[in-house]
Structures are given as C-alpha cells and as structure tokens.
C-alpha cells in the first residue's frame, strides 16, 4: 500500500480538529439534553462558518460545491468529524445524504441532478434512503415486498419501510422497490426518487432507539407508501439496477462508517484517559493507578490503531482498484471496526462509572446509538459468513481437484 498524506490534507485535518474542540463539542450538552430542534439555529450558524472556511462537503463533487476529496483523504476527515454525532452534519457530509449524492452523481439524469443533487450538496435540502423493511431481513436486499408498478407514465409504490434515517424533514427519499417480480432476484428492484410531499408518502413515526426517538437528521423513521404515485422519469439508472447501485453505494459507504466509528473510538479513548488520571478512588490514588484500567487503555489503543490501519488500507484499495477488488477487506472492516468501537465505548463507560450512564458526557449517546453498527449495512454475522465463503472457495476447489493436501508430518 502506497498511502501518503499531503501537507495540505494534514493542515485541513488540524483545522477541523480545532473547530471540533472549540465549536462542536460544547454544543453537545444542549443537543443531548434538548434534542436537535434546540440547537438547529446554532448548528446552521456553524455550518455557515464551515462554508466560510472552505471546508464544506469534503467528499462531494467540486462541480456542485463540494471539496472533491479522494476516498482516503475523506476517510481521515471522517475520523475527525466522527468524534461528535454532530460533526458530519455540520460539515455537510452526513449519512444518508453522502450516499445519495453519490447515487445521483453517478446515475442521475441532468434533470434529476439540477433539481436534487445541487441543492443537496449545498445543504439547502436533506434526503433519506428507504430500503429496509419491517418483516424482512435488511441484510438480504433481494428479499423485498415493496413494489413500484408501472401505470402509464408513472410508478405506483406500495410498501412499508423502516429505519429510513433522516426522513423527518427530508425533501425526498430514494426508495428501493420491486419493479419486476418475475426477473432474476438481483434484477427485480430499482431505485426511484420520491419527493416526501407526494401523496401516499406517510411518515408513520420516528422509531425510538433505546428510548430516544430523535428528530430531523438524527432520527430513523417508519414510512408507509400507499398508492404513492411518481413519474417514471424519477427512476435512477436502468430499471432493475437497484441492487447493483446499492452495492456500489455500500462499498465506499462502509469506509465512511468505519472511519466515523474510529472517530467515536478516538473520543471515547481520550475521555477514558482523562477520567482515569483525575478520578480519585482512595486518598492519593486515582483510577489510572489500577492495572486493570491500564490494561483497558492499552488494549483500546492497540485495537483502534489496528482497525485504523485496516480501514485505511481498504480505502486505498477501493480507490486504487475498485470496490469489487476490495470486497474481502470491506467485509473485514465492517465487523472488525464495529466491534472495536463497542469494546472501547464500553470500557470508557465502565471507567466513568455512574457518570457514564448519564447524558452529562457523550459516552452514553455513543453506547446506545452506535450499538446498531453491528447490525445495519449487514449484520456482522452476514459479513463473516460471506468473507469465510470467499476465503475457503479456492481451498474447496483445490480439495475437489485432489490438490493442496495437508502438510502433516508423521514420525
């Protein structure tokens, strides 16, 4: 791997880090206590500052107002922004908008780009992505009940979706629905743009995640599509290409997730160390004096660095060779980094004790919201099985061909 960071990128990351510490972290207390509506005005002010600094939309196309950073550079940026749940939103690169921008850029028509892509990159509107269904496994996207049937020049969409992130206040959804139930499994579904003010697009609720429903970009909605009619010109890419486009989106998207998770790890480890050296446990003794706490800190630091190296290597491979050539590494990154994050956040919470269970620090937010990292974008177990299948394939083939016997020495 030939991965180097330019001085320009280093300077940009340092500037972002200072901004996070001075402007973003202090906003978290009100966000945790009162929710997004209470900080929306102040958040918009910070977004204006980000634009003035020339750091808006780091991963998005330059021709639409973004910075156009390559994947490896954005991976480093995402790690910095991931230290706060507000970071990516304030810099205009939050999910699901980031992935939807990629879809529109690569597969949108000129009319779709003019209406949706430009305003989305500029942060004038928000979007959502509607794929997961209530009664079917989200990790198997070829199993889908939602349909989009042709009726003249329109599609009529019917189905129930949930975990449609950021639907609350979004201008449009990109919906995955079956357009040809008789086609091969990977050719049945398509992606279609649905403006959220379309009759038949009903936001049923923001789903409570461990007791917190959230709002705006920090929410996950259940959506009911009932006789929701949109023009066939809202189709993204060729009909039946929904699964292929989703796979293109998920490869780089998992790098974005993993580096954001490493940002969570970085913040949690930092807080853990600060707590350890300041929390008295007896006269003249603090938590950092205990060997078990020292072991947690050492293990966390090593795990984070290993996960970081794997993620950056995968980002480099995706960028250099394409996501198909990096499929094994993408699967590894998904479950390795998600589990490292869970371990580090859990240790941080343990070090903070009762304080860690409250919203007086960011740790409890990370604990309840990032646990889902081992589920969304394919459960860990699915990625492990898929990875093992690919690793074992040449061994099975060699065995069937009578080759590659065991190197066993018998005395």
pLDDT tens by residue, 8-34: 999 999 999 999 999 999 999 999 999
- Cβ neighbors of 285 (< 8 A, separation 6 or more) are none
Domain boundaries, the chain: 7-94, 127-238, 244-398
| Separation between Cα atoms, residue 252 and residue 28, nearest integer Å | 28
- Indicate whether 138 pLDDT > 70: no
**pLDDT in the model for residue 77:** 95
- Above pLDDT 90, what percent of the chain? 82
Q: For position 344, what pLDDT does the model report? A: 98
348 φ, ψ (degrees, to nearest 5): -60, -45
The encoded tokens of residue 123 equal 């942060």
Query: Is pLDDT of 155 > 60?
Result: yes
Architecture of domain 244-398: Up-down Bundle (1.20)
Average pLDDT over residues 329-340: 94
* Contact (CB, 8 A) for 159 and 200: no
The answer to whether domain 7-94 and domain 127-238 are alike in fold is no
Is the four-CA dihedral 203, 209, 213, 215 of positive or negative sign?
Answer: negative
At the topology level of CATH, where does 127-238 sit? Answer: Butyryl-CoA Dehydrogenase, subunit A; domain 2 (2.40.110)
Q: Distance from first CA to last CA of the chain, Å, rounded?
A: 42
| pLDDT at residue 157 is higher than 90 | yes
Q: Give the residue carrying structure tokens 């207390």.
A: 29
347-367 pLDDT, tens per residue?
999 999 999 999 999 999 999
| Topology of domain 7-94, CATH | Butyryl-Coa Dehydrogenase, subunit A; domain 1 (1.10.540)
């Amino acid at each position: 791997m030939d991965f180097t960071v330019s001085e320009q990128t280093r300077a940009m990351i340092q500037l972002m880090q200072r901004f996070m510490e001075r402007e973003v972290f202090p906003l978290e207390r009100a966000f945790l206590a009162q929710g997004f509506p209470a900080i929306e005005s102040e958040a918009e002010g910070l977004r204006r500052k980000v634009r003035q600094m020339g750091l808006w939309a780091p991963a998005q196309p330059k021709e639409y107002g973004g910075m156009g950073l390559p994947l490896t550079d954005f991976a480093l940026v995402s790690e910095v922004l991931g230290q706060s749940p507000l970071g990516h939103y304030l810099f205009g690169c939050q999910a699901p908008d980031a992935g939807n921008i990629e879809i529109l850029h690569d597969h949108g028509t000129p009319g779709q780009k003019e209406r949706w892509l430009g305003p989305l990159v500029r942060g004038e509107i928000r979007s959502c992505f509607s794929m997961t269904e209530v009664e079917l496994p989200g990790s198997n996207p070829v199993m889908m009940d939602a349909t989009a049937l042709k009726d003249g020049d329109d599609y009529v969409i019917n189905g129930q979706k949930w975990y449609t992130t950021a639907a609350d206040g979004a201008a449009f959804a990109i919906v995955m629905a079956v357009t040809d139930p008789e086609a091969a499994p990977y050719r049945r579904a398509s992606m279609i743009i649905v403006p959220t003010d379309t009759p038949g697009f009903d936001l049923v609720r923001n789903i409570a995640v461990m007791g917190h429903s959230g709002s705006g970009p920090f929410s996950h909605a259940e959506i009911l599509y009932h006789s929701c009619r949109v023009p066939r010109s809202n189709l993204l890419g060729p009909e039946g290409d929904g699964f292929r486009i989703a796979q293109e989106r998920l490869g780089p998207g998992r790098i974005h997730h993993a580096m954001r998770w490493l940002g969570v790890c970085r913040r949690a480890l930092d807080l853990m160390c600060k707590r350890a050296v300041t929390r008295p446990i007896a006269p003249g003794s603090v938590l950092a004096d205990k060997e078990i706490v020292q072991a947690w800190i050492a293990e966390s630091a090593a795990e984070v660095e290993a996960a970081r190296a794997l993620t950056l290597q995968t980002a480099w491979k995706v960028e250099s060779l394409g996501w198909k050539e990096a499929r094994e590494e993408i699967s590894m990154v998904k479950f390795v980094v998600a589990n490292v994050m869970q371990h580090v956040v859990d240790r941080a919470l343990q070090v903070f004790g009762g304080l860690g269970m409250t919203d007086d620090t960011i740790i409890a937010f990370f604990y309840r919201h990032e646990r889902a990292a081992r589920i969304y974008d394919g459960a860990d177990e699915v990625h492990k099985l898929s990875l093992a299948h690919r690793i074992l394939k040449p061994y099975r083939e060699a065995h069937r061909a009578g080759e590659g016997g065991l190197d066993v020495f018998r005395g």
